[in-house]
Amino acid sequence: MASIGDNSGNEAALARQAEILAQPLTEDRIMANAIRALAIDAVEAAKSGHPGMPMGMADAATALWTRTLKFDAADPTWWDRDRFVLSAGHGSMLLYALLHLTGHEGMGIEQLKTFRQLHSPAAGHPEYHEHPAIEMTTGPLGQGFATAVGMALAERMLAAKFGKSLVDHRTWVVAGDGCLMEGVSHEAAALAGHLKLNKLCVLWDDNSITIDGATGTSTSEDPLKRFAAYGWATRRVDGHNFAELQAALAFAQKSSKPVIIACRTVIGFGAPTKAGTAGSHGAPLGGAEAEAAKRALGWEQLPFVVPEDVYKPWHEAGARGAVTRRAWLKRLAKHPMRAEFERVMQGKLPEGWAEAMSAYKAQLAETKPKLATRQASQKALEVLVPAIPELVGGSADLTGSNLTLVKGMAGVEPGNYAGRYIYYGVREFGMAAAMNGLALHGGLIPYGGTFFVFADYMRPAIRLAALMGVRAIHVLTHDSIGLGEDGPTHQPIEHLASFRAMPNVLTIRPADAIETAEAWEVAVKNTTGPSLLVLSRQGVPALRDVANGNKVARGAYVLAEAEGKRAATIIATGTEVSIAMGARKALAAQGIQVAVVSAPCFELFAKQDAAYQAEVLGDAPRIGVEAACGFGWERWLGANGVFIGMTGFGASAPAEVLYEHFGITEAAVVKAVTSAVNA
Amino acid sequence: MASIGDNSGNEAALARQAEILAQPLTEDRIMANAIRALAIDAVEAAKSGHPGMPMGMADAATALWTRTLKFDAADPTWWDRDRFVLSAGHGSMLLYALLHLTGHEGMGIEQLKTFRQLHSPAAGHPEYHEHPAIEMTTGPLGQGFATAVGMALAERMLAAKFGKSLVDHRTWVVAGDGCLMEGVSHEAAALAGHLKLNKLCVLWDDNSITIDGATGTSTSEDPLKRFAAYGWATRRVDGHNFAELQAALAFAQKSSKPVIIACRTVIGFGAPTKAGTAGSHGAPLGGAEAEAAKRALGWEQLPFVVPEDVYKPWHEAGARGAVTRRAWLKRLAKHPMRAEFERVMQGKLPEGWAEAMSAYKAQLAETKPKLATRQASQKALEVLVPAIPELVGGSADLTGSNLTLVKGMAGVEPGNYAGRYIYYGVREFGMAAAMNGLALHGGLIPYGGTFFVFADYMRPAIRLAALMGVRAIHVLTHDSIGLGEDGPTHQPIEHLASFRAMPNVLTIRPADAIETAEAWEVAVKNTTGPSLLVLSRQGVPALRDVANGNKVARGAYVLAEAEGKRAATIIATGTEVSIAMGARKALAAQGIQVAVVSAPCFELFAKQDAAYQAEVLGDAPRIGVEAACGFGWERWLGANGVFIGMTGFGASAPAEVLYEHFGITEAAVVKAVTSAVNA
């Protein structure tokens, strides 16, 4: 069975399938077969897709959606609905079929017929925003699960704040073998187990098949034993036995721990030859096999046709939660915290926070503190955290370095979710995914810290945040060779470029305390994507004396204009802006007048109009300074610009030694300017 | 004890420490105290560093290095040595002290005195190449462990090939709580358990402390139970009890499974107030605490002084393996496979492979097949795999999509390591780390496949390969919106830019079958860093008719010169080169003569001299075409260049629909050229 790389027939699975198919058809099975038939038809019509998973998990999904899942198809945005996350996102037709059958608007037969076509809400993988009932974008394996942990945590935190009468729902996940093999499943499961997120339940599609063949080709682990080690409750069921499924779901609803249910299934259930093999996973069954599968299931309908007597119980299931929802709406209407609850769930910022920040910035303009920007970030948080109660922090075990914790924030603890600070552990990817879940759930604005270099560990989750348009704020400290002795493994070089290249991410590297405050303002207001605050370990002088408005919001601006005509323009970011300012002074002493442009956010500057860009960049020769690789700087420096920065990896030494060693100094800038001016 | 975020004193740890310190000093403890003293002194001298881990693990390391570890300090490059990987790389002074005490050349007291200073071999974290006994660069948590899995696998595979008389060693890892919390530890441990890598042993520094405080702040898992679920053997010992440590090491040497030993330790062992707390983790103890610690340990020496009677047993330990090594050298001298063994261990390519590739390319020039470049890659592998026996393949569960498997390659199986193909499972990061280990071990050239978009999952390991200069070859298929219906989660946009920005990586995106063959030639010869082969799902026509030399090796070249004076230069990569060629033809029909430049590898083109670059790029207006974001293209397009590509995420639809939708078409190129020419 488990011979290496074997993708051939699976006799045991076929025998099990035959035995199940020989049983009399029940209403549950007929309802599940509607999912199977729609999945088969949509994949055949699209000529591509993944029929195996929807066919295998149709029974489990039917059990969950018809009796247990709290939802009302009439309003998929109901705040107290259960969340359902299809972590095995390739099985998207499972979700679309469920939405269709339960009567969700916007997922009619015509939408299913356009499965995987341009502008269809039934995209290849579930895409957030394509339909209001799609809780998140899934497809990159493991991340649905890890994000769901954040959703489940959000529920607990909001319940602690607003009470059970407003917040009392569960988070359900369908995950495949691939999800459980991914490393992030470990981080997420360990965090969920630690925090005792008992309202989280994972249905594992335990089908013993991966793309390369039997799971035995590449894995021998016992996942339930592993999850038990994390503090989860575990159950094993026949994934085609409704009684067992219902019993397990009932168990999950009473558990004091997060729950994983191994649903032993036959992938491609119903397909006469491809069931139980990787052959049913990622390609259409093909006309003959598709026909035969429907026959075997007892489904005698034309493609995309569901009989009314099958729609009926499905529509009833879709309306099952209506009473509960109406009762909840009544409770909300008279709840003393209604306004606050609605505000946070709508993602609206509270009154007063902007004024508090303005006052803080005015104070900075006066006191001109020399601070590392990570310290400045902490000071900004000291203003923001009291002003924005939905702001919740955390760090991947670098709290004292990231300076993400401020006074008055208590830690979220197992069983006690009243705190606002999450100790994520050494789990960067798990943290970023959980942050996405906190944001997606609604009601919270998550920020989390790690070293900038370890943004690589969580890059897949940042990408998913960008794709979904989720407000997650990453506090990324120790942003360059300026971190010093820890050496090249800890020194970001290409990270700024790599995130500037990613669509819909704001990568912000502020130069001083005022810019850091402005960066926080931008991040908090950026509701349509993640923001990365890239912050220094080492101190920088105050560079700004005016704090009106928000200059970071324009991406780049003239920090210091040349006295008279510009001989050159020095463009710098973060800690290198003060180097540029030093060079400007030294050059002025030589009679060379240059402007210094601070460019904390390339993405925002790129959005400004051409006139503003031209005004900032000027016509004079341009010199760029950044303690990072220069990839992508050409856009702003033009064809003849000069870049002063890194050309390879860093080294282990004190920061000031490294700046000297790599030639990122005031003297180097002065030399580059004089060369350019004399050229 | 486990109160949230608590970094204060740890009474239980201090009591345990007091009890141990009250015992009479044994030679083992004195030897271990030499490690502690050197770690204290070096960190104090550097005014930064991590004393806690070396002090906590000194006893375990002493037990391992004095009696069990197979090595000879006289030759740290001995091929049959045991590998020792300090996965908790921040504890670098543990390793440096061990190398110093055992008498390794190049790690004298003067080197320890320059700990964390520029050009010191004793860098902040262990850096590969800084000293021959440093097996790999560590610091990014979890990766030492995951890479060691690859080393242990390499040992098994080479033993299967060359026999036990040449290859018979173990791989030892010291890992911390952070390593085990990282997701990659799950992937690596599951793979090692599956493959029954019984010669791998992990010593877990079980000190109950992370940076944010007690491990209980963020984790409640039982790691040994988890490892048992992977099929590992587990043991718990008092990490300060030599008898228990020796017994566990003996157990590990007889195990039929990989082994993890939980060494219960006191972090910062010896420090009178900071022991057992995060306070001893990442900062100098401080003068008084340092002095008091040495006193408590009974170490009455000036800083950096080790008495001769302590050096003596350490030097004996360092020479312990000399006899074994000499016996091995004798066996090697008369071994029938000596020449082949030496060749592969030296990383030299065999005779004949280049000729085989030349013949294959000549054939391509004649037959001009239309192939997806992933198919062309498979065809190149059909030549390379028989010609280069040390080439070993694999995929993260996408074998049939990546086309990484060729005829004659058997799978590596648990207990049978004679195969050359590794089914890594859905574990991209684990795969990339294991590939680094296979390469670092020596004797093998690993390649592995996944979808290009999932290169994000393994980015931290690719970075480490680049930093170490390791020959790992990544086969990254489905390289753009050209993958079609699977949609934006699966469509790389910023990935080319993000890897082009990373130092010491060759990112190669070939345009047709001949370029793909050349890309493989470049990758196989690139011994000083990783190569990424970025390959298409969809077919491309043959574009080249001459296959002499290797044009990819120059990074970019004129594929088709303009007939007469260039009106414009179209620069394209990969699948977009054929679009450029189509546009060239259409433009010629309008009387506009343009050159087409194929630019498969920016990094290699950047290394060419200015004259060649100028010749290729020309003076005419430049148009860039790539189905990706344009970040970084400005360098080659100049200030007035036009880029045709992606500006945001992709979508779910058939490939040809998407190219049309996003305007990456022959017509768009024609339009851009005519605009530029008429400007």
Q: What pLDDT is attached to residue B7?
A: 65
> How far apart (Å, rounded) are the C-alpha atoms in residues B346 and B340?
10
Whether residue B618 is contained in a domain is answered as yes
Ligand-binding annotation for A40, yes or no, is: no
Euclidean distance between CA atoms B457 and A457, whole angstroms? 7
pLDDT (0 to 100) of residue B451: 98
Contact A91, A53 (CB under 8 A): yes
Same domain as B602, residue B537: no
Query: For the residues A583-611, what does the mean pLDDT come to?
Result: 98
pLDDT at A9: 72
- Contact B220/A210, CB-based, under 8 Å? no
**Interchain proximity B183–A186, CB inside 8 Å:** yes
Whole-number percent of chain A with pLDDT over 70: 99
Q: What CATH number is associated with residue A398?
A: 3.40.50.970
How far is Cα B410 from Cα B174, in angstroms, rounded to an integer?
Answer: 32
B185 touches chain A (CB under 8 A): yes
Inter-chain CB proximity B425 and A123 less than 8 Å: no
State how far residue A255 is from chain B, nearest Cα, in angstroms.
18
**Considering only residues 85 to 144 of chain A, which have any Cβ-Cβ distance to chain B shorter than 8 Å?**
89-90, 116-118, 120, 123-125, 127, 137-141
pLDDT at B9: 72
Q: Which of B428, B515, B576, B603 is catalytic?
A: B428
- Within-domain flag for B343: no
Q: Where are the alpha helices (DSSP H) in A421-571?
A: 428-441, 459-468, 495-500, 513-525
Q: Spell out, as residue ranges, where chain B has pLDDT lower than 70.
A: 1-7
Whether chain B has a CB inside 8 Å of the CB on A619: the answer is no
The shortest C-alpha distance from B65 to chain A (Å) reads: 26
Q: What are phi and psi of A221, to 5 degrees?
A: -70, 160
Whether the per-residue pLDDT at A188 is higher than 80: the answer is: yes
Q: Residue A641 has what pLDDT?
A: 94
Based on the fold, state whether residues A536 and A558 are members of the same structural domain: no
End-to-end C-alpha distance for chain A, whole angstroms: 73
CB atoms within 10 A of CB A236: 15
A155 and A270 both lie in a single domain: yes
pLDDT of res. B2: 39
Question: According to the model, what pLDDT value does residue B6 have?
Answer: 66
**Cα dist from A243 to A13, A207, A310, B52, B595, whole Å:** 20, 19, 20, 54, 69
Of B482, B514, B541, which residue is a domain's last? B541
Hey, which residues 506-535 in chain B have their CB within 8 Å of chain A?
none
- Give the pLDDT of residue A113: 98
A467 contact B CB<8A: yes
In a domain, B5, yes or no: no
- Find the CATH number of the domain harbouring A603: 3.40.50.920
Q: Quick check: is B335 in a domain?
A: no
Number of DSSP helices (H) and strands (E) in chain A, helices first: 27, 20
Q: Is B342 among the domain residues?
A: no
Same domain, B560 and B531: no
Shortest alpha-carbon distance between residue A49 and chain B (Å): 8
Indicate whether A420 and A568 sit together in one domain: no
Tell me which of B125, B128, B180, B186 to substitute to probe the interface with A (most A C-beta atoms closer than 10 Å). Answer: B186
Q: What is the pLDDT of residue A639?
A: 78
Cβ within 8 Å, pair B125-A489: yes
The pLDDT value given to residue A547: 75
Specify whether the backbone of A617 is left (phi greater than 0), alpha (psi in -120 to 50) or beta.
alpha
Whether B554 has a binding-site annotation, put simply, is no
- Best probe of the B interface among A212, A428, A452, by most B CBs < 10 A, is A212
Cα four-point dihedral sign B386, B388, B392, B398? negative
Last residue of a domain, one of B541, B571, B601: B541
- Give the per-residue pLDDT at A348: 98
Specify the DSSP element, H or E, that contains B646.
strand B642-646
Among A494, A512, A541, which residue terminates a domain? A541
Give the Å distances, CA to CA, from B323 to A71, B328, B438. 73, 9, 27
In this structure, the answer to whether residues B69 and B204 fall within a common structural domain is: yes
Domain membership of residue A334 (yes or no) is: no
A119 marked as part of a ligand binding site: no
Do B188 and B68 fall into the same domain? Answer: yes
Question: With a cut of 0.90, is the ipTM above it?
Answer: yes
| Residue A281 counted as an annotated binding residue | yes
Q: In one letter, which amino acid is B650?
A: G
The H-assigned helical ranges of B233-352 are 242-254, 287-296, 308-319, 322-333, 338-345
- The alpha carbon of residue A624 and the mean position of all alpha carbons in its chain are separated, in whole angstroms, by 32
Q: Distance (Å, rounded) from C-alpha A549 to C-alpha A557?
A: 12
Q: Could you tell me the strand order of the sheet in which A445-451 lies?
A: A421-423, A391-395, A445-451, A473-477, A531-534, A506-508
- What tokens were used for B35? 């490690």
Helix B143-162 and helix B428-441, axial crossing angle in degrees, nearest 10: 50
B532 and B560 in a single domain? The answer is: no
**Shared-domain flag, residues A537 and A561:** no
> Closest-CA residue in chain A for B488?
A467
Element (H, E) at B375: helix B373-387
Q: Are A533 and A600 in contact (CB under 8 A)?
A: no
Task: Give the sign of the dihedral formed by CA B205, CA B207, CA B211, CA B212.
Answer: positive
Give CA angle at A73 (A72, A74), nearest 5°: 90
Q: What is the pLDDT of residue B640?
A: 84
Task: Please write the tens of the pLDDT for every residue from B19-49.
Answer: 999 999 999 999 999 999 999 999 999 999 9
pLDDT of residue A679: 81
Q: Containing domain of residue A139, as a range?
A: 21-327
Q: How confident is the model at residue A548 (pLDDT cuts 50, 70, 90)?
A: confident
Mutate which of A119, A129, A221, A450 to disrupt the B interface (most B C-beta within 10 Å)?
A221
For B552, the token pair is 């990819």
∠ CA A417-A422-A423 to the nearest 5 degrees?
A: 125
- Using the beta-carbon criterion (under 8 Å), do A229 and B221 form an inter-chain contact? yes
Contacts for A674 with CB less than 8 Å, ≥ 6 apart: A587, A590, A592
* A369 and A289 belong to one structural domain: no
Contact at 8 Å (CB) between A527 and A490?
no
Q: Is the pLDDT of residue A398 over 70?
A: yes
Q: What is the pLDDT of residue A327?
A: 98
Tens digit of each residue's pLDDT (9 = 90 or more) over A208-259: 998 888 999 999 999 999 999 999 999 999 999 999 999 999 999 999 999 9
Quick check: A658 and B118 CB within 8 A?
Answer: yes
Residue A337 within any structural domain of the chain: no
Nearest to B101 by CA among B128, B137, B76, B65: B65
Strands annotated E in A176-285: 200-206, 209-210, 213-214, 233-238, 259-264
Give the model confidence (pLDDT) of A476-510 as tens digits: 999 999 999 999 999 999 999 999 999 999 999 99
Which chain B residues have a beta carbon less than 8 Å from that of A658? 118
How do beta strands B622-629 and B594-598 pair?
Answer: unpaired
Rounded Cα distance, B178 and B208, in Å = 11
- Cβ(B437)–Cβ(B154) under 8 Å? yes
B278/B90 Cα distance (integer angstroms): 13
Contact list in A for residue B413 (CB cut-off 8 A) is 4
pLDDT in tens, A514-529: 999 999 999 999 999 9
A661 neighbourhood in chain B, CB within 8 Å: 118
Task: Yes or no: say if B600 and B555 are a contact pair by the CB < 8 Å rule.
Answer: yes
Pairing type for strands A539-540 and A371-372 reads antiparallel
Q: Are A239 and A265 in contact (CB under 8 A)?
A: yes
Start-to-end CA distance of chain B, whole Å, equals: 73
Q: CA–CA separation, B7 vs B279, rounded Å?
A: 7
- Provide φ and ψ at B507, rounded to 5°: -105, 110
User: Which residue of chain A comes nearest to B486, CA vs CA?
Assistant: A124
Q: Compute, in degrees rounded to 10, the torsion defined by CA atoms B108, B109, B114, B116.
A: 80
Nearest to B42 by CA among B84, B86, B88, B95: B95
pLDDT, tens only, B206-253: 999 988 989 999 999 999 999 999 999 999 999 999 999 999 999 999
pLDDT band at A640 (very low <50, low <70, confident <90, very high): confident
Q: Do A454 and B140 touch (CB under 8 A)?
A: yes
What is the gyration radius of the CA atoms in chain A, in angstroms? 28
Rounded CA-CA distance B176/B91 in Å is 10
pLDDT reported for residue A120: 98
- Return the residue in A92, A218, A232, A260 with the most chain B beta carbons within 10 A, the one to mutate for interface testing: A218
Q: Are residues B178 and B280 in the same domain?
A: yes
Domain assignment present for A339: no
Question: By the CB < 8 Å criterion, does A429 face chain B?
Answer: yes
Tokens coding B573: 């990569």
CA atoms of B245 and B268, how far apart (whole Å) = 19
Distance from CA of B586 to the nearest CA of A (A): 28
CA distance B271 to B289: 6
* Residue keyed to tokens 């393994």: B458
pLDDT of A4: 63
- Looking at CA atoms only, how far is residue A345 from chain B in angstroms? 27
Determine the pLDDT at residue B1.
Answer: 35
Q: Count up the domains in chain B and report the number.
A: 3
Q: What is the pLDDT of residues A341-355, one digit of tens each?
A: 999 999 999 999 999
Assigned token pair, B257: 């499974």
What is the DSSP-derived secondary structure letter of residue A416?
Answer: B
**Annotated catalytic sites of A, by residue?**
428
CB nearest to B489's CB, from A139, A218, A494? A139
Nearest to A467 among B217, B649, B661 (CB): B649
Chain A interface includes B454 (CB < 8 A) = yes
pLDDT given at position A1? 35
pLDDT-based confidence at residue A3 (cuts at 50, 70, 90) = low
**B69 and B133 in a common domain:** yes
Determine the pLDDT at residue A603: 98
Is B461 within 8 Å of chain A by CB?
A: no
Q: Tell me which chain A residues have a C-beta less than 8 angstroms from the C-beta of B403.
A: none
Q: pTM here?
A: 0.98
Q: What is the pLDDT of residues A20-48, one digit of tens each?
A: 999 999 999 999 999 999 999 999 999 99
**Main-chain dihedrals φ then ψ at residue A95, nearest 5 degrees:** -70, -45
Residue A561 CB neighbours (<10 A)? 14
Mean pLDDT (chain A) is 97
Return the residue of B nearest to A138 by Cα. Answer: B489
